[in-house]
Homo-oligomer: A and B are copies of this chain.
Amino acid sequence: MVLETITVRTEGAVLFADIEAPPMNLLGPELVRDLVSLIQEAEADDTIQVLVFTSADPDYFISHVDLTQIEEYRAEAAKLTGEASIALLFHHLSASRLITIAQIEGRVRAAGSEFVLACDMRFAALESAIFSQFEPAFGLLPGGGGAQHLARLMGRARALEVMLSAQDYDAELAERYGWINRALPAATLGDFVRSLAHRIASFPAAGQVAVKDRVNAITLASAEEFRRDSNRFGEGVRNPEAQSRIRAAMKRGLQTRDAEMALAQILSEPASDSSSSGTRPTWGTPTASITCATPTSGTSI
């Protein structure tokens, strides 16, 4: 399997897919096209049981969608599900017979977060992984299932906080909130995920299908709910206020590699935070009672 933005490697029944879509792993038409091909081919290959996603970019796993090419990437998604929506692509992945694991280093924001939420499991590097579901900063509902997954994983209060704040969350806090399975030191993450993938692949596929079927029946929102959120995002993003907010954020660096290293700071108008007198919330800085002497202090932005 040769793809432009994904490097594929197979070990037994485990397929490793390394995402490399420079300059910042935006989810645009090329990456969506390649994800569709990858999923179709892996699902058609009975020897594959587990699919592991990694990133070739240490700072970005999947940054978010390319906001300048929404029609184009949606058209690519339609080739998998018949519907022009990455929400349905993500839902397809969650319902697949394949077991999917996201090994997260770097940033996953908006549709990047929704992609890893669609995976069956997600493990993140303590030092580098950063999570955000920032669509509400532009007045938008997350359109790729983010609201559906986060509400079920975190409960009402934390899901509202995460989305309404549009903040960056580090891996330690993402673990505490249930956004990810676990945060692990980057030095051990790869071996951990590889070993887990091979262990799962050593067991019969029949049990995996049965377990996913039951767990999805309880925890996965319906395709109709994904479709509705996707439509609401699609309508909202054409709204003049959303367009104005997005253009303003682009002037401050949205969708550029350097500026998005600290995206949370440029999502809101500089003036609108003046009342906060310089004290930004230190998201994910561990509280004294939970953690001590952690090497991750300061990784949050």
**Which of B12, B158, B180 is the one whose CB lies under 8 Å from A157?**
B180
* Interface flag for A71 (CB, 8 Å): no
Residue among A192, A220, A245 having the largest count of chain B Cβ atoms under 10 Å: A192
Residue among A149, A160, A192 having the largest count of chain B Cβ atoms under 10 Å: A160
Query: How long is the Cα–Cα vector from A281 to B288 in the complex, in angstroms?
Result: 23
* Interface flag for A211 (CB, 8 Å): yes
Interface size class of A (residues with CB under 8 A): 35 or more
Instruction: Verify A219–B158 contact, CB threshold 8 A.
Output: no
Which of A83-91, A161-169, A253-261 faces chain B?
A161-169
Asked if A165 meets B198 with Cβ closer than 8 Å, knowing A141-B210, A206-B139, A208-B136, the reply is no
* Interface flag for A294 (CB, 8 Å): yes
Query: How long is the Cα–Cα vector from A206 to B295 in the complex, in angstroms?
Result: 39
Task: Report how many copies the assembly holds.
Answer: 3
Query: How long is the Cα–Cα vector from A155 to B150 in the complex, in angstroms?
Result: 10
Q: How distant is A192 from chain B, measured CB to nearest CB, in Å?
A: 5
* Interface flag for A215 (CB, 8 Å): yes
List A residues at the B interface (Cβ < 8 Å): 11-12, 14, 94, 99, 119-122, 126, 135-142, 147-153, 155-161, 163-167, 172, 175-176, 178, 180-185, 191-192, 194-196, 198-208, 210-212, 214-216, 218-221, 229, 232, 236, 239, 241-242, 245, 268-269, 272-273, 275-276, 279-282, 286-296
Instruction: Verify B156–A194 contact, CB threshold 8 A.
Output: no
A120 contacts which chain B residues (CB < 8 A)? 156-157, 160-161, 164
Instruction: Verify A215–B147 contact, CB threshold 8 A.
Output: yes
Query: How long is the Cα–Cα vector from A269 to B13 in the complex, in angstroms?
Result: 14
Query: How long is the Cα–Cα vector from A278 to B149 in the complex, in angstroms?
Result: 35
Instruction: Verify B161–A121 contact, CB threshold 8 A.
Output: yes
Interface CB pairs A-B, < 8 A, 13: A12-B275, A139-B206, A150-B215, A156-B215, A160-B215, A182-B287, A196-B281, A206-B236, A218-B221, A288-B296, A289-B291, A289-B295, A290-B290
Residue among A122, A200, A291 having the largest count of chain B Cβ atoms under 10 Å: A200
**Which of B137, B150, B272 is the one whose CB lies under 8 Å from A198?**
B272
Instruction: Verify B156–A210 contact, CB threshold 8 A.
Output: no
**Which of B148, B157, B172, B214 is the one whose CB lies under 8 Å from A290?**
B172
Asked if A151 meets B215 with Cβ closer than 8 Å, knowing A182-B287, A289-B294, the reply is yes
Query: How long is the Cα–Cα vector from A218 to B232 in the complex, in angstroms?
Result: 17
A163 contacts which chain B residues (CB < 8 A)? 211, 215
